[in-house]
Amino acid sequence: MTGDRPTVLVVEDEETVVEAYALWLSDTADVRTATDGEEALELVDDDVDAVLLDRRMPDLSGDETLAKIRERGYDCRVAMVTAVDPGVEATEGSFDAYLTKPVTREEIVDTVTELLELVRDDDAGE
């Protein structure tokens, strides 16, 4: 984690949803937003501590976006969000949490808080 405040990247193809998530998380972290996978790849860097990632997006899916984030060497914590209940294999990806829509403000904030605690633990172990 760099600086005093953590940085969270919110990736969601529905503009109103990405705005809501960003508002909900604004007290917890500095928030970057993207409405598709390509934009997310432009915004992710070493300063991003956690990513809240929509699984089903047009063009580049959440899974594809996450794979590209990992290919680039970023090891940020990730929560995958989807409207579809995951199968067993779907929950075995390289992410730390899985949320099924609709999600509440509390679920989003609690999940991101847990991810950021993992980041702090990671940083303490280095």
**For strand 7-11 and strand 50-54, is the pairing parallel, antiparallel, or unpaired?**
parallel
Predicted confidence band of residue 83 (pLDDT cuts 50, 70, 90): confident
Closest CA to 54 of 70, 69, 34: 34
Given a contact cutoff of 8 angstroms between Cβ atoms, the answer to whether 76 and 48 are in contact is yes
- What's the rounded Cα separation, in Å, for the pair 104 and 40? 23
What single DSSP character describes residue 60?
S
Of 85 and 58, the structure prediction assigns the larger pLDDT to: 58
Dig out the tokens for 53 from the structure.
């990632």
In this prediction the pTM is 0.91
- Give ∠ CA 122-54-77 in degrees, rounded to 5: 5
Domains in the chain, ordered, with CATH? 7-120 (3.40.50.2300)
User: pLDDT tens digits for 41-66?
Assistant: 999 999 999 999 999 999 999 999 99
